[in-house]
Amino acid sequence: MTRSIADQTVAELGGAGSVLARQRADHVELDRLLHELDGTVGREQEKVLRRIDRLVFSHAFAEETVLWPVLRRVLPDGEALTLQVEEEHQEVNELVGALETVGHDDPRRAQLLTRLVAVLREDVRDEEDVLFPRLQEAVDADELRRLGRRWELVRRISPTRPHPTVSRRPPGNALSALPLSLLDRTRDMVDAGVHRAPERVVPVGRAVSRGLATVAGLVERVPLARKGDRPPTSR
């Protein structure tokens, strides 16, 4: 009988370097941030959302690049299992993208936030209770640690913002990862500087951020970036 990785010790998961232990650590941090998000408004809400974005999008991008191809290879029902989670990842991309377009007084904002939190929690449960116990049964601890090293490396160079038109599978996600990561992480630094900058330079920083977002949008729409989904989950 499979056990959720939420209920296992680090040793049972294959050690601290195992991909399962690394994944669970991110999920614990996500849960903490979702609790911190609850009740926030205005700029404070934006700050917590950006921290959630940086965690969630790099985490998911690395999953889609490193882990889901393994699950499709080693599990007879890996295709259906990973497609379900890819669809959850896609909805998160679309919800965060929509949140970036609505103001704080827009009545749709609360609905979008509620749905975003629900999908993120559903995604964690699907991974911890279903996908990862199945992966644990299919590969040994040495392989889990090898996957952990690969996943961590890819996560560190993955995009940190929503890109709903990019394929959720290789080769599209892998080919677009480097340019989108560079653009996203540069934009993260620019936006952080805007929050600390004197008022007179804020418009310049915001213009630079919008320009980087425009370039990222062009990268998303390169045909190669959209290849790989079968069936398509990206817009």
Query: pLDDT of 101-112, one tens digit each?
Result: 998 889 999 999
Q: Are 88 and 131 in contact (CB under 8 A)?
A: no
Helices 42-62, 141-156: inter-axial angle, 10-degree rounding:
130
For the stretch 93-152, pLDDT in tens is: 999 999 999 988 899 999 999 999 999 999 999 999 999 999 999 999 999 999 999 999
210 CB-contact burial (10 Å; exposed 0-12 / middle 13-18 / buried 19+): exposed
Task: Calculate what percentage of the chain has a pLDDT beyond 90.
Answer: 80
Scanning the chain, the segments in alpha helix (DSSP H) are 19-37, 42-62, 68-74, 78-99, 108-126, 132-138, 141-156, 172-196, 202-220
pLDDT at 209: 92
1 CB-contact burial (10 Å; exposed 0-12 / middle 13-18 / buried 19+): exposed
151 CB-contact burial (10 Å; exposed 0-12 / middle 13-18 / buried 19+): buried
For the cut 80, the answer to whether the pLDDT of residue 234 exceeds it is no
Q: In the chain, where are the structural domains located?
A: 5-226
pLDDT at 1: 62
The end-to-end CA distance of the chain, in Å, is 37
pTM score: 0.92
CA–CA distances in Å: residue 40 to residues 10, 33, 43, 121: 33, 11, 9, 18
Backbone angle region of 15, left / alpha / beta, with phi > 0 → left and psi within -120 to 50 → alpha = left
Residues 6+ apart with CB under 8 A from 162: 53, 57, 92, 93, 94, 96, 97, 100
For the cut 70, the answer to whether the pLDDT of residue 33 exceeds it is yes
d(CA 82, CA 8): 22
pLDDT at 232: 63
pLDDT at 231: 61
CA–CA distances in Å: residue 95 to residues 8, 17, 49, 162, 221: 32, 32, 12, 9, 19
Q: Are 70 and 151 in contact (CB under 8 A)?
A: no
Q: What would the mean pLDDT of 51-55 be, rounded to a whole number?
A: 97
CA–CA distances in Å: residue 163 to residues 93, 185, 209: 6, 14, 16
Residues 6+ apart with CB under 8 A from 206: 194
Predicted confidence band of residue 230 (pLDDT cuts 50, 70, 90): low
Predicted confidence band of residue 203 (pLDDT cuts 50, 70, 90): confident
d(CA 172, CA 228): 6
